[in-house]
Amino acid sequence: MCIEQLNHTERYGYVYDALGRRIEKHRLDRDGKPCNRTTFLWDGLQMIQESSADKRQSLYLYTDEDSYEPLARIDRNGNQEQHIYYFHTDLNGMPEELTDEAGEIVWECSYQLWGKPIQEIAHREIQQNLRYQGQYLDRETGLHYNTFRYYDPDTGRFTQPDPIGLLGGFNLYQYAPNGLTWIDPWGLQCNKSFTPKKINNKIKDLRAGNDVTVNSFKEADQVLYGAFPNARKVTGAGNKSAIKTSRQKKDFKLRSSEKGNNAVYHKDYQFNKDGILHGHESLPSGHPHQTTPHINVLTPNGEKATIYIER
């Protein structure tokens, strides 16, 4: 591949194995010889390690053996001590932050809907190239390597047609119906984001109108939208005046007497200066709705359920 910039031209080469997995990329010098090699090691269709010419290695761990959502990364530079970093991802598994063993943020990035970065900040000399699940950013082109084709975050589309043709859908260049809850880790066919078994069980419980407890705000959203993909927000989670709180409670109670096609919900996340959730000051001491962030859900059948977030 030849990349032309204002004052110079650079050439890059890419090497693939018999299964179509990319096992090396490199820059070509003026004589056409490979330099600055980066090699990749695979476990099936999961990229589990990358090694650079300066002997730096990064080993990747994922949230589940069938998932492409990164969990942690172990870096080693030659014979030096290894360092462990932890990924913090959004709803669809895209990395938003990378923290070290002490919890310090070493890298962070915010994105537009289809993966185009808004702002990327490296707080240390570290590079983080994982993007949507199964994607690896090539900084020389700005494209994401997506196993069987390349994805352009500027347009939100693939640069090649779907290798499986119309079996992947009528739009041969589309990534997914939406970038929040759908993924395409191989660049072949999109599907709903991978959901671990424990999350699936909570989704079933919530769908049946039962209360559930989760460990993070992200998990709460996974359970909510997993159970009710078309759930509609009734009230917010921000600071509430007495008048606003009263109005919102009446609105939610009104909805509670109705049955419809969609679930409705409101989030109570924000605390006042006394450590009590806004709008819950009058509840008895010890009531879980007073001190535990939660989502009140009204199912399409008119049943009330709560998602508690215990962090």
**178 and 203, same domain (yes or no):** no
192 lies in some domain: no
**42 and 162, same domain (yes or no):** yes
For residue 182, count other CB atoms closer than 10 A to its CB.
15
For residue 110, count other CB atoms closer than 10 A to its CB.
12
**163 and 47, same domain (yes or no):** yes
Domain endpoint, select from 183, 218, 253? 183
Q: How many domains does the chain have?
A: 2
171 lies in some domain: yes
Domain that holds residue 279: 197-309
**252 and 223, same domain (yes or no):** yes
**28 and 149, same domain (yes or no):** yes
Q: Which amino acid is at 304?
A: K
**174 and 224, same domain (yes or no):** no
DSSP state string for 192-260: EPP--HHHHHHHHHHHTT--EEESSHHHHHHHHHHH-TT-EEEE-SS---HHHHHHHHHHHHHHHT---
188 lies in some domain: no
The H-or-E segment that residue 304 falls in is strand 304-309
**165 and 208, same domain (yes or no):** no
**168 and 232, same domain (yes or no):** no
* CA dist., res. 208 & res. 168, Å (int): 33
User: How confident is the model at residue 166, as a pLDDT?
Assistant: 80
**174 and 251, same domain (yes or no):** no
Query: Which residues, 6 or more positions from 121, have their beta carbon under 8 angstroms from its beta carbon?
Result: 107, 108, 109
Q: Which two tokens stand for residue 41?
A: 């090691």
**122 and 259, same domain (yes or no):** no
90 lies in some domain: yes
Q: Tell me which residue of 74, 90, 33, 80 sits closest to 55, measured CA to CA.
A: 80
**31 and 123, same domain (yes or no):** yes
What are the distances in angstroms from CA 35 to CA 24, 52, 124, 182? Answer: 11, 10, 25, 37
**157 and 278, same domain (yes or no):** no
Each residue's pLDDT expressed in tens, for the chain with a length of 311 residues: 666 666 778 899 999 999 999 999 999 998 889 999 999 999 999 999 999 988 899 999 998 877 899 999 999 988 788 999 999 998 888 999 999 998 999 999 999 989 999 999 999 999 999 999 999 999 999 999 999 999 999 999 999 999 988 877 788 999 988 888 789 999 988 876 656 667 888 999 999 999 999 988 878 888 998 899 888 887 554 444 444 555 555 555 555 445 557 899 988 888 888 888 888 888 888 888 888 999 999 999 889 999 999 87
156 lies in some domain: yes
68 lies in some domain: yes
190 lies in some domain: no
